[in-house]
Amino acid sequence: MSKSVRYFLALSLFPQVLLVNVLSQHPEVVERYYSNGFYPLVSKLSRHVFGWIPFSFGDILIGLAVVYALRWVVLHFKFFFKKPKQILVKILTALSVIYFMFHLLWGLNYYRLPLSERLNLEVKYTTEALKNTTQKLIASSNAIHLSLAKDTNAVVKIPYDFKTIKSKISEGYNLTSRLYPFLKYTPASQKYSLFSWPQAYMGFSGYLNPLTNEAQVNCHTPTNSVPLTLAHEQAHQLGYAAENEANFLAFLSTQHHPDPLIRYAAHTFALRYCLNDLFKRNPDDFKRLRTAVNPGILEDFRVRREHWAQFENPLEPYFKSGYNSYLKANNQQEGIASYNRVVALLVNYLQQ
């Protein structure tokens, strides 16, 4: 790469940041020209190119990039103080290219119009509405659980392998697209992550690779959690970057699934979020309503918590803090807590 090109790329980082900041103030422009214009084309193209590969191509790219970066640091460390200007230009060049590709291939979706506007949903809700919604979810979860387990104390276990779950979640999206056409999901690109062990210790159950548009699930995720984790990542693939919106679309696409096991995963997923939010708002109501949940469902929740507890480590909070900063830098002011904002969408949708 010539010196002039490198300088141009390095300096282009600053106008790129400025442009993204300007676009963030005009979500209707992002929605029309990017999220509903350019992005669906590049997203489908990426899934056509990488979806048929049985392993995560994006993970391999990340692995190679990390190895290259470490090698580059080792080889150039002695120049950090001798030629700081040249080193800075090279670093800015790399950051500029990464920043550009991230926003071009997926990241601008963080600045689109809120999903609540598209679905005509309120974003505020009362504790009373939350309590009513929680009661509805307890009733539906209990009914599905009992139909499957035949015993309120038994734990429902989803017996499917990942291939079967992938097929069923895609089916759920495509069935839901009859009512909401923007949820049409094709072609598929769903993978187990090659970096599942590191992700487990970092506290992550899945992620979307923005460069290859592969929906990736940590293979150590409890099977009962895999359907909604995958549905969440597929929502990201469809261009819904906000975590609360991806959570909501995961529920929306699975709540009426023809398979009762997927319906069980969907309704208990929503129930957990609503119970957690009710505990924060009114602990007394939480304690009272929790006793109405079938013991088998509560045991399922406990088993999943204990499963993740085995991966807890002193470094996990730092990884979570880094991810929290990433979300805040990408228009999600509440950071990781934005996942919980799905409750507002759930309450107002189910109240309708």
Residue type, 17: V
Strand order in the sheet with 190-192: 190-192, 214-217, 206-209
Contact of 247 with 271, CB cutoff 8 Å: no
Q: What angle do CA 10, 16, 22 make, to 5 degrees?
A: 160
Over the range 176-193, which residues count as b (16 or more CB within 10 Å of their CB) and which as e? Answer: bbeeeeebebeebbbbbb
Contact of 162 with 226, CB cutoff 8 Å: yes
Token digits of residue 285: 């109501």
Nearest to 343 by CA among 194, 173, 134, 154: 134
Q: What is the pLDDT along the chain (352 residues), one digit of tens a residue?
A: 778 888 899 999 999 999 999 999 999 999 999 999 999 999 999 999 999 999 999 999 999 999 999 998 888 877 777 778 888 889 999 999 999 999 999 999 999 999 999 999 998 999 999 999 999 999 999 999 999 999 999 999 999 999 999 999 999 999 999 999 999 999 999 999 999 999 999 999 999 999 999 999 999 999 999 999 999 999 999 999 999 999 999 999 999 999 999 999 999 999 999 999 999 999 999 999 999 999 999 999 999 999 999 999 999 888 889 988 988 888 888 888 877 899 999 999 999 8
Beta bridge partners of 215: 190, 208
